[in-house]
Amino acid sequence: MSRTNAFRALTLLVVAALSPRAWGQTAAEIVARADEVRNPNASFRFLSTLTEYVSGKPQAQNILAIFSKKDPRTGQFRNLVGYVEPPRDAGKAVLLDGRAFWFYDPASKASVRISPQQRLIGQAAVGDILTVTMSIDYTATLLSTESVQDANKKPRTSWHLDLKAANELSSYARIEYWVEQGSFQPVKAKFYSDSGRLLKILFYRSFETWLSGLRPTETVILDAVDSSRVTTVKASEHRLQEIPEAWFQREYLPRLEAQ
């Protein structure tokens, strides 16, 4: 260990331990506050525009209508995702409710049960990524405080957290998460599979006020497996909406009006 590194470690040890900003909150509290920034504590509906880039060029665009409601038992959001565009997918719907995942295709009039792994294949996985309450599904550990660049290459002093799946409902085995100090705005996240493979890198950007809070309206998802692929997810038209419990039954899927 070099003398410089030893000095840096000692300084960080003292500063970090003394700093009320770093240690005013536990890792779990930081993640919970970031959850509150990402989504309101109410039932709501929004449109999500996914643009898929391959080698930097836009290749496809999907528009999804996402209906989110908190499950009072788990505190986790349940999602109903209706495909609006492109035309070949219009009318398809996905129910993401705890461990129950169903996919409905209007062409075949069939609802098929899908596994947690299968739900990650389609665009509807975005619903989960955007609304997952990380403080419930993951156990957080604070790794460090560091300056990390956000999607606009602006440095943000952030907590670097390590999140481990807390239950079998967690979509990913592990998440590395950067949350800006002070604002509790999520900056970046890395999602890992059960096998430890890095799957996705997320950047949160375009913070705007919607549903009574300054929240991200755009998420950039870098595919870590295929480095040529990037997806941007632009959320819009947020509105509070009461969502009846019956909507989270698979038999309701054919009746979901995405528009």
Among 167, 212, 236, 241, binds other proteins (CB under 8 A): 236
Among 8, 41, 75, 240, binds other proteins (CB under 8 A): 8
User: At CB < 8 A and 24+ separation, what contacts does 87-95 make?
Assistant: 89/62, 90/258, 91/258, 93/253, 93/254, 93/256, 93/258, 94/119, 94/122, 94/124, 94/127, 95/248, 95/250, 95/253
For residue 21, state whether it binds other proteins (rule: CB under 8 A): no
Pair 224, 201: CB distance under 8 Å: yes
The count of residues interacting with other proteins (CB under 8 A) is 92
- Distances in Å between the Cα of 219 and the Cα atoms of 110, 153, 202, 256 are 31, 15, 7, 25
For residue 86, state whether it binds other proteins (rule: CB under 8 A): yes
- 3-class SS at 158? strand
Please give the distance of CA 60 from its chain centroid, rounded to a whole number: 21
Identify which range of 13-21, 36-44, 129-137, 207-215 contacts other proteins by CB under 8 A. 13-21
For residue 1, state whether it binds other proteins (rule: CB under 8 A): yes
Identify which range of 36-44, 90-98, 132-140, 208-216 contacts other proteins by CB under 8 A. 90-98
Element (H, E) at 37: helix 27-38
Tell me how far, at minimum, the Cβ of 13 lies from other proteins, in Å: 4
C-alpha span between 238 and 242 (Å, rounded)? 13
Q: What is the dihedral sign for C-alpha 178, 183, 185, 188?
A: negative
Tell me how far, at minimum, the Cβ of 133 lies from other proteins, in Å: 18
For residue 99, state whether it binds other proteins (rule: CB under 8 A): yes
Tell me how far, at minimum, the Cβ of 106 lies from other proteins, in Å: 7
Among 33, 52, 166, 181, binds other proteins (CB under 8 A): 52
Among 21, 182, 237, 240, binds other proteins (CB under 8 A): 237
Residue indicated by tokens 């950047």: 203
For residue 188, state whether it binds other proteins (rule: CB under 8 A): yes
Near other proteins in 131-170, by CB under 8 A:
141-149, 151, 153, 160, 168
For residue 251, state whether it binds other proteins (rule: CB under 8 A): yes
Tell me how far, at minimum, the Cβ of 152 lies from other proteins, in Å: 9
C-alpha span between 2 and 170 (Å, rounded)? 40
Near other proteins in 65-84, by CB under 8 A:
none
Cβ closer to other proteins: 209 or 246?
Answer: 246
Identify which range of 31-39, 57-65, 128-136, 207-215 contacts other proteins by CB under 8 A. 57-65
- Closest residue by Cα to residue 69 from 1, 6, 155, 131: 131
